[in-house]
Chains A and B, each alone.
Chain A
Amino acid sequence: MPAEPDRHGSDRIRGGVGEALPHESAHLHVTGEALYTDDIPLPKETLHAAIGISERAHARISRLDLGPVEAAQGVIAVLTAADIPGENNHGPVVHDDPIFATDVVEYAGQSLFAVLATSVRSARRAARLAHIEYEDLPPILDTKAAVQRRSFVLPTRTLARGAAEDRMRAAPHRLSGSLAVGGQEHFYLEGQIGIALPGEDRTMLVHSSTQHPSEVQRLVAHCLGLPAKDVVVQCRRMGGGFGGKETQPALLACIAALGAWKTGRPVKLRLDRDADMLITGKRHPFDLDYEVGFDDAGRILGIRLTLASNCGRSADLSEAVNGRAMFHADNCYYLSDVEIVSHRCRTNQPSHTAFRGFGGPQGMMLIESVIDDIARALGKEPLEVRHANFYGAAGRDVTPYGMVVEDNIIGRIVDELAQRSEYATRRRAIADFNAANSILKRGLALTPVKFGISFTTTHLNQAGALLHVYTDGSILLNHGGTEMGQGLHTKVAQVVAEELQVDLGRIRCTATDTSKVPNTSATAASASSDLNGKAAQAAARTIRERLTAFAAAKYGVAADEVLFRAGRVRIDEKADLRFDELVGLAYHARVPLSATGFYATPKIGYDPKTMTGRPFFYFCYGAAVSEVVIDTLSGESRLLRVDILHDVGASLNPAIDLGQVEGGFIQGVGWLTSEELWWDAEGRLRTHAPSTYKIPTAYDWPRIFNVDLVQWSRNREDSIYRSKAVGEPPLMLAMSVFFAIRDAIAACGGGSPRLDAPATPERILTAIDALRATSADTRTG
């Protein structure tokens, strides 16, 4: 927001913690003045790059003739693996992602070479002119085929506790079932982009639209054979990330840097939407299976869950994604005797990657379908069965991975939500409607969410910040997190404003920059306000302590008699200075006015070998009730109403948190309903633009909505101002829509529908048919 003077006499600062302020860039967003990577002015000699990609899902390259590419109009250079002075890899964990494939291509869309030309169109035209001869190899195009052929990118993992098999055998009831959940394209509105500007003495400045500048820095350095100190990566903001800019931007940054290295000219590489969707990874599709034994109340006694994920051609972040899927296969439910098996399948698709929820949603979809099936098998209200299985007091409070759930508030949230959404009344009304209507059917579902906060890779739970106070009292803030629209910079600046008791208008949060805060973790795992907020708080406290010590010494008072409040500093009875006055005095007294801050999440620790311990600092909770109507003639569905109650602890900024809840919810609705990734029989993605891949529009927001943050929640752990993370958990509230659709389908026949996600009209119609066929069999048989 524009700078405003501190309001003298007011007892509160403007823009402290807990205020529902607009996004720090809102005024720039609406005027078009916010600069994204593609908007950065560049020298006129800048070259434009385009990537030449594989058209085959799996093939040996028998001939790659780049002659026509080099000869094309406007082309300055062509880049291949042979041009890479360092390592031909952009894989973040396992080094298995070549920047340019050499002998074999392993998915349609894989990068083979790049063109540098004087214009974007010239580069893109030329990239299509290569003569490529392929010898096709047998592709693996889905999870099932991969499991059958034991095609894995990483070893299968099993997490087990108790005696699942014995308990299932002894249980009064037994069920098994399966569902497939599709992947999801991130569809950040700003496509992937990287710019490299060569500097003096073998250095490189990279502008990357990335959630992970430090990793881009590391991979560019490896690609060029440089030490990290010679590469600087900056990102002021992204036009959306959602996990899709955690590892994926490195490929672009490496190619741009390589081009700049080779030509000595700046290089910009911006993918068009189709290239972006063909080249980059997506949310992992999963095949999910279960066997469960349960009692008459629907309480789970023993359970075996199998999660087979389609990881695509390489490892990328699949170890952590699948780990999180396993850690969320319990959702809010206590599973005493449990076996969770996780297959990480290698297929000939792009390497699937981080996406909001990071495996958690897929794990939770499985257990929610188990609960739904149990309820339908017993003829019980699903909400009752959910209640019966919730984590509880001692004896029912330990997760399959051995972490005690100490902060459980799901029961209270669900009860409050059921009441305020009039769940029971509407359940009856819907039953009446369905009895009276044969073509349209309505459905209702309440689903809960429990989501663990922290990177499960423990060492990533650290953050740094850098704070400068200038002699006029204005403040420059930098931290390791990136801004992708989630309001991180706003929240972190609010923390600093609160700590120093100055108006937010005094503070500018600058572009994320590897030369300011080093060795940062990705802005991911929902934890960035937690981590960077704490780091910035530490830096602000250092500054405040120095100013306090200075003021105390100068005026001869005790440190605790120096009070920062509402833009002023009161030094006992002796002085009452404006913040900038004190800063000016401190400067003249040679007090350092720049500080770093660091934070490492306490308490967590987890053994990746045994998959046990405390991977999470705390849990976020929430629940949603959705009501839908479906058309049994066409399979179309419509979301009629949603009620949400979501826990963000003591909110740092309720407006921003509400935005995350609503936006996450709708993004999840898209994943589970209209967003279908469709690969053809040759393994080519055929839905690679918004004309064919359908994310929700404004019409899809329900006409009736009641979305609230839990007002009484405070984080029981010492998080930043007792707030909780918010980025990912709300996405899973959308499960309520999927299970409401299932509920509506169930009204067409008896029993439990077999429905895969996304629940497109065709899948819904298929599920209705299958259910009616089964019901008919049951009646006649």
Chain B
Amino acid sequence: MAGERSIRFLLDGAVHTVADLAPTTTVLEYLRDHLRRCGTKEGCAEGDCGACTIVLAELDEGTIRYRAINSCIRLLPTIDGKALVTVESLKAESSSALHPAQRALVECHGSQCGFCTPGFVMSLYALYRSDRQPGEDAICQALSGNLCRCTGYRPILAAARRMYEYPDSADAGHEEDLKEKLREIQVTGEKRQSTAGSSYVAPCTIAELAQALAERPDATLLAGGTDLGLRVTKDLAHLPQIVYLGNVAELVRIRSTGQHLEIGAGVSLTDAFAALTAEYPDLRGMTRRFASPPVCNAGTLGGNIANGSPIGDSMPALICLGASIVLQAAAGSRSLPLEDFYLDYMKKDLRPGEFVAAIRVPRARPAQVLRCYKIAKRFEQDISAVCGAFAIEVAGGRVRDARVCFGGMAAIPKRARACEQALIGADWSADGVKPAVAALATDFQPITDFRASQGYRLRVAGNLLRRLADEASQGAADLSVWGHAG
């Protein structure tokens, strides 16, 4: 079945139709090089500095969702059916003046060199449109993907508060107009593009997706692109065949059954974490620090899992919870415990033509003590040196069951079996966990790299278990420096 070739998106109220462009063209390249909209900047080309932040507006059950993303690693065809909002758009949506975010930044002296500023403006714009009363931490989190090297952030944080003092600058009817136009360009069928040496397929159903992969067993499967984008911008990789799963409605769905929460592989990290922490509030510490909103808005939980990096932060907790994954192919599907998916460094139990369709997370069990700790050099938007997750069941002061899993300690996200064995039956106290701490040396021989040394990793892994025992014994939610009130 030959799909439609061109993709369509809205920009400042106008429909842009693009065909015959290399599918690896990033949104940032398109803006700067093709449209000469140079307000959006490249700072790092890896989604870590936020100078390229733009907002995507999408229809979501009758309302519009505004989400900041990194345009530097976002491939252009994937904004099909959405509205692209750039720093220049703010002028277009208002006949009056600066947007409140812009005005507040000027008045609070929130720009110095100004290079990061358009990115901050867009993160603030997304916040303004989606949260009318953010607290201090919500503001920090909203800005966690934006680096500023000049101001020290104080005036930007002040601007984030002050912008709410100003009325929306968008002209009346702007949003209704946007909704109407978004409805007109909704993606309804499979899209296929091919240019010299590269092809792009964006199916709309699981069947189409399975078929597309069956036809192209070597194709690169693209979801949010927060990892794959770097292969384009950093490795300068040529990706001859891309299959995009973001338009498959069945994959962008979260279902809750009596047994489990089923998160489709195309669900963004933002949405997946909202569902996950509603079920498991103790995972908020991990999801809070996982990555910035632009990364979580684009990236998917399925991508984090399927990518299978040993330092991906979602897997240790999910493995502790006993999550399983649904692997789908044209021939049928199978289910696999998540921990069995990882075979060796970046090697997975994934057959040709197969893709991760969903993650199934068991429903919460009340007796369980659950924690996931992340250790990194920086609180926000950093990669773990060690990420430790623990699911412990205690009865009568003794550990009845324990699942312990670490990231950053081995070539894969890996359960600490010796540690678990030592825990089961042990006294649930700081002293009682000591043999389990010692057992970690049997479980892991971590590497030394720029994030931490082997000795530090091993030492801290054990100390995280001590932390958990302390928190449990004191009934405290967070005894780390981040929970410290000062």
Contact = CB atoms under 8 A, between A and B. Distances in A.
B467 interface: yes
A697 B44 contact: no
A631 B481 contact: yes
B78 interface: no
A606 interface: no
Contacts of A665: 152
A691 interface: yes
Given A237-B113, A274-B234, A636-B481, 17 more contacts: A23-B112, A25-B114, A26-B114, A28-B114, A30-B117, A32-B37, A38-B38, A188-B113, A189-B49, A189-B147, A191-B43, A239-B114, A638-B481, A663-B151, A666-B152, A697-B379, A698-B148
Interface residues of A, number: 91
A667 B149 contact: yes
A282 interface: no
A190 interface: yes
Nearest to A240: B113
B41 A36 contact: yes
B450 A701 contact: no
Interface in B465-483: 466-467, 470, 479-482
A765 to B, nearest CB: 7
A633 B467 contact: yes
Interface string A645-657: 0000000000110
Interface of A: 22-23, 25-36, 38-39, 41, 121, 124-125, 128, 186-191, 237-242, 272-274, 439-440, 484-487, 627, 629-631, 633-638, 640-641, 655-656, 658-659, 662-667, 674, 676, 678, 680, 686-687, 689-692, 694-701, 703-705, 707, 760-762, 765-766
B254 interface: no
A697 B486 contact: no
Given A190-B41, A687-B450, A705 B154 contact: yes
Contact of A32 (B39, B141, B382): B39
B481 A190 contact: no
Contact of A695 (B39, B103, B149): B149
B86 interface: yes
Contacts of A187: 147, 149
B367 to A, nearest CB: 26
Interface residues of B, number: 86
Interface stretch (B6-14, B258-266, B399-407, B453-461): B453-461
Nearest to B378: A694
A241 B150 CA distance: 9
B452 interface: yes
Contacts, number: 272
B115 A662 contact: no
A766 B484 CA distance: 22
Nearest to B379: A699
B449 A633 contact: no
Interface string B192-219: 0000000000000000000000000000
Given A124-B236, A630-B481, A23 B111 contact: yes
A485 B378 CA distance: 25
Top 7 A-B residue pairs of the complex, sorted by shortest distance between their CB atoms: A32-B39, A485-B113, A239-B115, A29-B114, A666-B152, A678-B450, A485-B112
B115 A691 contact: no
A240 B41 CA distance: 13
B482 A638 contact: yes
A273 B234 CA distance: 9
B38 A35 contact: yes
Nearest to B43: A189
B149 A242 contact: yes
Nearest to A485: B113
Contacts of A655: 109
Nearest to B112: A485
Given A697-B147, A698-B153, A659 B481 contact: no
A694 B376 CA distance: 10
B112 A273 contact: no
A374 B56 CA distance: 57
A485 B150 contact: yes
A663 B116 CA distance: 14
B314 interface: no
Contacts of A238: 113
5 contacts: A30-B118, A485-B112, A674-B377, A676-B450, A689-B46
